[in-house]
Each structure stands twice: as structure tokens, then as C-alpha cells.
Amino acid sequence: MTTSSEKAKELISLYNRTRPFEEILKSLSEDSKIEIPVIPDVPGKNSWSAEAAAKRQDFLESRTHKSLASLSGKSPMPDPETYKGNIESFIGMTQVPTGIVGPVYIRGTAAYGDFYVPMATTEGALIASYNRGAKACRLSGGITSVCLTETVQRAPLFRFHRLAEVGAFMYWILDKLDIFKSITLGKSRFAKLIDLRLNMEGNQVVIIFEYTTGDAAGQNMVTICTEAICTYIIEHTPIQPTHWFIESNYSGDKKATAVSFSSVRGKKVTAEAVIKKQYVKEVLSSDVPGIVQYWQSSSVAAVQSGSIGIQGHFANGLTAIFLACGQDVACVAEAYVGITRMEKNEDGDLYVAVTLPSLMVGTVGGGTGLTTQHECLDLLECTGPGTARKFAEICGATVLAGELSIAAALASGQFSKAHRIFGRK
């Protein structure tokens, strides 16, 4: 999961437009100690009564000053015309219950402070587990979460009669990047073509176009831009392909692939936390050596299974956040690929880190503007321009809380008990 020096410089430039990079590094360092404020807990977390639900809604609205009118059912359902661009042959709504995880305390480059994270799921025990992990992290000083870099790919394929034609075509393509960048600017206000790569196989070649897409997840955006570039190629190339396709199936769109794991697709986020052994015992009802031993053993088993990456249940948290916040849920197929690491540090505390190299998220476009989804994003203050990296860092931190909790449950033998309590009618 490497990043080129040019991409790294571009990312630092992006950070400097929000606040100085040196200030970001200082705020993330261990020497930058801050006192985490004591705040009231969300009321009635483990009560299913209507009264408890109303109290939680009132609590969140008073704490965040955000409206939950649509989420709580107080607002009427929008006109079906609202859903044009999101669905065809509309007949109604599939309702997925939404819970709240938090506060999740995050120290990131874009996300900083306490966040109440909405998660939509039908799996009992999930919200309780993430809340447990979030509590242990907050008591231990919070979670550092950083969006490292971002690109979205589209990978058209061009097929020729023989290998020599492919070589000539590639030679012609290589000095056209500036032209392709101009075409992109003419097709989108937000997409920016930053690089292209070539992958040749026999008499065909895949061109991997890499874009940034602002605050949108960007799959549709890069498709439109790539089509315009391909049209230019076909009109001007001296070597005409026998066939070409807008997507070769190389980009990893909605698939778990080694390519997206080893590079970047969407946003690459890494997060870490040091959980004090006191809270491993008091909150997680486990111990550091037991969790470390479980994670070591389960990592070996994951390798034996052929897993792309090693993690516990990224898909659980990401699916629930994606549903609540209007993301393309099918992108969990690629976003769940990643790495979790758990180690005992020199103080006997538990070091936990997660890395997600393929986090396809956005805060504009798609389903983010629908009523309940917009409310959930607004709860996180992740609506509108300039918030996608913040949302990605929140996703990374929340995933870490879930990894911590499930590892503790499995290490201490609580896993089945938790599902008996919360996962059955």
C-alpha cells in the first residue's frame, strides 16, 4: 500500500489548505496531550422502549444542535420525485433501524473531537459492541485517524490485432496526459486527473486513469470523464483498436481485489489507539495478553483461508455506516479489505491499528442528499463541500472501535453470550 512521492506532496498541499501540516503533526503526536472533556452518556442505550428512543433523539438534538425530524419519523415522507437519480420504478421505503455509537473521540487531520456515529443494521449486538469499543478508546485518550491519500480509478481496455500495435499505441498515449487532464476539466468541476498507468497483456492494454473527485465518491464522475478521454483517443490515435471497453474490470469497482489492497482506491485511512490495560479489563472484560494471543492466532488462520488483508469485521461497521449515511452500500465489497494489528506495548497496554486502503465514501452526490441520510451526515457535521476526508476518518475510527470490541469478546469467551443477550428476540 505504497504512495508515490508526488502524491504525498500533493496530499500535504491539500492539508496545508485547511491548516498547516506542522500543526497537524503536532496535534497527532503523543506529546500533544489534551484533557478529554467529561460528557453525559447517551440515555437508555440498552432500552428498546419508545420513551427511551425519544430520549436518545432529544439528547442528540440538544448535544449536536441537529434535527432528526426525518429519522425519528416526525417529518412526512418526501415526494417520490425526490428519488429521481437514486432509483427507478419506486414503490416505497425499506426501513432499516438506525442506532447511535458514541461518543467516538477522534484526533484526526480533518475529524477532531467527539462524534455520535449513526449506524443502520438489523444485526442485534452490533451497536452495543461498537459502543463498548468506543468507550474503551475514549477513556484511553481517543483514536487517531488519518486520511492518507485518495484516488478513484477507471480502467478502459483497448484490444489490437498483435502485440506490436499495442506497443505503438502505448507509445502514442504516454505523452497525452496533459491533454487528458484538460478533457477532464471540461467534463467536471470536481474531478481531477492526476495520473495514468498502463497494464499490457498480449494484444491488449488496460489504461488505469487515476482521479481525485472532491467530496463525491466519484464512480459516475470518473466514468463520464473517462468516456470523454476514450472518445478523444479513438478519434486521434494512429493505431485503431479492434475493440475497446470503458471498464476492463481491473479497477476493482465493487470487488475485493489485490490491486485496491496494494494501492489506493477511494480514500486510504489508517487509525490507531492505545487502550490502557485498566480499561481492557474494566470496559472490555478481557486482558491484553489474551487479546494479543487471539489476534496472532486468528491472523494465521486468516492467511490460511486466503483472505485479502487481515481484519475481524470491517464489513459490519462499514455497511451500517454506509446505509445510514447514503453511501453506495455495494462498495463495502471493496472497502472492507484491510489490516488490523493488535500488540502489547512496553507499558503493557494494547496498541490497536487499522488500515483501510479502499474506502469509497463521499459527502455529496448519490444518496447523501436524501432526508434521513442527510440528517445522519449532518449529525457528524459532514454535509457539503470539504467534508469527505473528515467522514473517511470517522469511518476509520469507528471501524477500529468495532475491531477492538470483537477481538476482546472472542479472546475472553463473551462472543456467544453477547449475541444471546442482544441478538435474539
List residues with catalytic annotation.
Answer: 123, 254, 328, 419
Contact call for residues 400 and 143 (beta carbons, < 8 A): yes
Question: Quick count: other Cβ atoms within 10 Å of Cβ 410?
Answer: 18
Give the pairing of strands 143-154 and 266-275.
antiparallel
> Residues near 26 by Cβ (< 8 Å), separated by ≥ 6?
32
Q: Give percent helix, percent strand, percent coil of the chain, each to the nearest 5.
A: 45, 20, 35
List phi, psi (to 5°) of 119.
Answer: -140, 130
List phi, psi (to 5°) of 286.
Answer: -145, -170
Give the pairing of strands 266-275 and 350-359.
antiparallel
List phi, psi (to 5°) of 185.
Answer: -60, -30
Sequence-ordered alpha helix ranges (H) in 174-313: 177-187, 219-236, 258-262, 277-282, 288-305
User: Cα–Cα–Cα angle for 106, 110, 112, nearest 5°?
Assistant: 30
